[in-house]
Amino acid sequence: MDTKNIVIAVLMGIAAGWLASWIVGGYGIVQYLISGVLGSFVGSYVLNAAKINLGIRNEIGRDIATATIGAIIVMIVARILH
């Protein structure tokens, strides 16, 4: 991974975490980043395991939507465990 890809992944993680915080609640750029980056892995796994296709043709939009779904799951699980 080069620097450009890392920056893009971080920005997408922040965006996904921010969007998830609107639904679940939460605040702080660090929380957005952590939940968004973890959410991208969780969202990809859950959607693939459930064989769900979001039908979004734009790659960036699809990745942000997937990471947001995962971030929501991560935030809910974190609240349950906390």
Q: Domain limits of the chain?
A: 3-81
Q: Which of 58, 55, 51, 23 is nearest to 39 (CA)?
A: 23
- At 1, is the pLDDT very low, low, confident or very high (cuts 50, 70, 90)? low
Rounded to two decimals, the pTM is 0.87
Q: Which of 33, 28, 31, 24 is nearest to 69 (CA)?
A: 24
- At 68, is the pLDDT very low, low, confident or very high (cuts 50, 70, 90)? very high
**Looking at residue 28, what is its pLDDT?**
86
Dist. CA 37–CA 16, nearest whole Å: 8
Residues 2-48: tens digit of each pLDDT: 888 888 888 888 899 999 999 988 888 888 888 999 999 999 999 99
